Amino acid sequence: MGEVLVITSGKGGVGKTTATANIGTGLALMGKKIVMVDTDIGLRNLDVVMGLENRIVYDIVDVVQGNCRLKQALIKDKRFENMYLLPAAQTKDKTAVSEEQMKNLSDNLKTEFDYIVIDCPAGIEQGFKNAIAGAEKAVVVTTPEVSAVRDADRIVGLLESSGLREPKLIINRIRPQMVKKGDMMSMEDIIEILAVDLLGVVPDDESVVVSTNRGEPAVMDKASRAGQAFRNISQRITGEEIPLMNLEANSGWLEKIKRWVTKS
Amino acid sequence: MKEMLDTALSSENTILIQKTLRSGQSIKHSGNVVILGDVNPGAEVVAGGHVVVMGAVRGMVHAGAFGDENATVTAFCLNPIQLRICNYITRIPDGNHPEPTEPETARIINQGIVIENISLQGNRLF
Ligand SMILES: Nc1ncnc2c1ncn2[C@@H]1O[C@H](COP(=O)(O)OP(=O)(O)OP(=O)(O)O)[C@@H](O)[C@H]1O
Ligand SMILES: [Mg+2]
């Protein structure tokens, strides 16, 4: 039985889709059979980030409405045998699927895949509710900004009241230089507020922009710092104990975070 | 091109869309569709008959969607993410490709979608 993981944030544009693409690809690189599910109906992006847009024939709405079989809508990635995408619909809206339908969909996918990684839309409305309906574990993405952390906190609360306890945190787009100068919230500040386990820290990295435009997630690029961070995150998801990389932690914190990671 | 336009325009069931279709917008029509604008990535046109775009196609166009194998897709710049005619599907090859600079028509020939360059040269009467 596979594991259903939702990538969520509350605030828009903090890196949910980037994280989904990279974690999905990272898990596939480790030989896991995975499917990424785009639930951002009406504003789909994951297909573009994965470079699979031109292969879409059916989408998630077609599946739940019975216009096609689930297998027909799954797009097999050209680069990995074991990686699939279930795209969102672009010309519909969030009300085109229900929480019940999402739950059934996740249950179906679980019998086929090791990991189901769900890309959640921004916000706390229907789209969010759909995305988390079938999930068993949640990953909250935030950037080191007060507003993003505020929204992440709201999301953690909503996740907990929906039974998704102990969500894990990814801090994205951190800039160590700015943190050092005191111009950016540190990991310490963020964890202090959110009080959740840290899954990883991803640096702000130009290679993410390049890889996004190319349709090749940064994890596939050995030289990418962000790619390395996402490879580590993928490994932690499978239960491996990977210490935070240098830039992920400033020394004093390393040990403390190691303990958090191993505890989970 | 002119011929194509004439057929599309003279057919009874043709609609004219006088705007660019943006991502998420979709036109579904049982007959022919003529668009005075572009079809952007993420937009889709589904027509029972021909589709003529007096602009660029960068999204998805499906002509002959209800089984008409003779349907065609014509555009000034035919560069769709994916193109469908009747039951046939084709997509742009992966990687970067220059956009076409001349009008083209896509139609089914020998069980496959073929894209033909159409010359706009010829006589012009004023
Ligand atoms: N670590 C990073 N370094 C540099 N740029 C990044 C990083 N993470 C994300 N970005 C950029 O930030 C932008 C937003 O990312 P993304 O689309 O993943 O966010 P999102 O949370 O899915 O947004 P939405 O809420 O709209 O769905 C993108 O342009 C992406 O390339
Ligand atoms: Mg997104």
Taking ligand 2, which is a single-atom ion, which protein residues have CB atoms under 5 Å away? Answer: A 16-17, 45
How far, in Å, from the CA of A43 to the mean position of ligand 2? 8
Asked if the C-beta of A53 comes within 8 angstroms of chain B's C-beta atoms, the answer is yes
CA atoms within 13 A on the CB side of A153: 14
Helix A99-110 and helix A126-133, axial crossing angle in degrees, nearest 10: 30
Which neighbouring-strand residues pair with B106?
B73, B115
Alpha helices in B1-126 (DSSP H): 2-10
- Map chain A to HEC letters: CCEEEEEECCCCCCCHHHHHHHHHHHHHHCCCCEEEEECCCCCCCHHHHCCCHHHCCCCHHHHHCCCCCHHHHCEECCCCCCEEEECCCCCCCHHHCCHHHHHHHHHHHHCCCCEEEEECCCCCCHHHHHHHHCCCEEEEEECCCHHHHHHHHHHHHHHHHCCCCCCEEEEEEECHHHHHCCCCCCHHHHHHHHCCEEEEEEECCHHHHHHHHHCCCHHHCCCCHHHHHHHHHHHHHCCCCCCCCHHHCCCHHHHHHHHHHHHC
Q: Establish whether residue A16 lines the binding site of ligand 1, counting it when its CB lies within 6 angstroms of any ligand atom.
A: yes
pTM for the complete prediction? 0.86
Distance from chain centroid for Cα A60 = 18
Res. A24: pLDDT tops 80: yes
pLDDT at A258 (0 to 100):
56
State whether B41 and A53 contact (CB < 8 Å). Answer: yes
Distance from chain centroid for Cα A69 = 25
CB neighbours of residue A213 within 10 Å: 11
- In this prediction, residue A250 has a pLDDT band, given cuts at 50, 70 and 90, of very low
- In this prediction, residue A260 has a pLDDT band, given cuts at 50, 70 and 90, of low
pLDDT at B92 (0 to 100):
79
- In this prediction, residue A244 has a pLDDT band, given cuts at 50, 70 and 90, of confident
Q: Establish whether residue A159 lines the binding site of ligand 1, counting it when its CB lies within 6 angstroms of any ligand atom.
A: no
**pLDDT below 70 — which residues of chain B?**
1-11, 120-126
Per-residue pLDDT of A187-222, as tens digits, reads 999 999 999 999 999 999 999 999 999 999 999 999
State whether B42 and A44 contact (CB < 8 Å). Answer: yes
What's the rounded mean pLDDT across residues A77-85?
A: 95
Name the domain count of chain B: 1
pLDDT at B12 (0 to 100):
77
pLDDT at A251 (0 to 100):
43
- Give Dmax over CA atoms of chain A in angstroms: 55
pLDDT at B95 (0 to 100):
73
Domain range holding B29? Answer: 2-125
- In this prediction, residue A17 has a pLDDT band, given cuts at 50, 70 and 90, of very high
pLDDT at A249 (0 to 100):
46
Per-residue pLDDT of B6-26, as tens digits, reads 555 456 799 999 999 999 999
Residue numbers in B near A56 (CB within 8 A): 82
Task: Determine which of A61, A91, A92, A216 to mutate to test the interface with B (most B C-beta atoms within 10 Å).
Answer: A91
pLDDT at A32 (0 to 100):
98
Query: If we measure between CA atoms, which residue out of A213, A204, A200, A205 comes closest to residue A245?
Result: A200
- Return the SS3 of B6: helix
C-alpha dihedral sign at A21, A23, A26, A32: negative
Regarding an ipTM greater than 0.85, the answer is no
User: Which domains does chain A carry?
Assistant: 3-263 (3.40.50.300)
Query: If we measure between CA atoms, which residue out of B54, B3, B62 comes closest to residue B30?
Result: B62
How far, in Å, from the CA of A246 to the mean position of ligand 2? 28
Asked if the C-beta of B91 comes within 8 angstroms of chain A's C-beta atoms, the answer is yes
- Give the alpha-carbon dihedral of B113, B62, A46, A129, to 10 degrees: -150
Name the residue facing A91 among B24, B41, B94 (closest C-beta): B24
Res. A255: pLDDT tops 70: no
Distances (CA, A) of A203 to A67, A207, A208, A228, B1: 42, 10, 10, 10, 52
Residue nearest to atom 23 of ligand 1 (CA): A13
Which two structure tokens, joined as six digits, stand for A193? 């507020």
Q: Establish whether residue A157 lines the binding site of ligand 1, counting it when its CB lies within 6 angstroms of any ligand atom.
A: no
**Mean pLDDT (chain A, rounded):** 93
Q: Establish whether residue A15 lines the binding site of ligand 1, counting it when its CB lies within 6 angstroms of any ligand atom.
A: yes
Res. A46: pLDDT tops 90: yes
Task: Say if residues B69 and B112 touch (Cβ distance below 8 Å).
Answer: no
CATH number of the domain enclosing B6: 2.160.20.70
Tell me which of B123 and A34 has the higher pLDDT: A34
Q: Which residue on chain A is closest to B82 by alpha carbon?
A: A54
CB neighbours of residue A68 within 10 Å: 13
pLDDT at B10 (0 to 100):
53
Q: Establish whether residue A212 lines the binding site of ligand 1, counting it when its CB lies within 6 angstroms of any ligand atom.
A: yes
Per-residue pLDDT of A95-112, as tens digits, reads 999 999 999 999 999 999
- Return the SS3 of B66: coil
Residue numbers in A near B91 (CB within 8 A): 54-55
State whether A43 and B24 contact (CB < 8 Å). Answer: yes
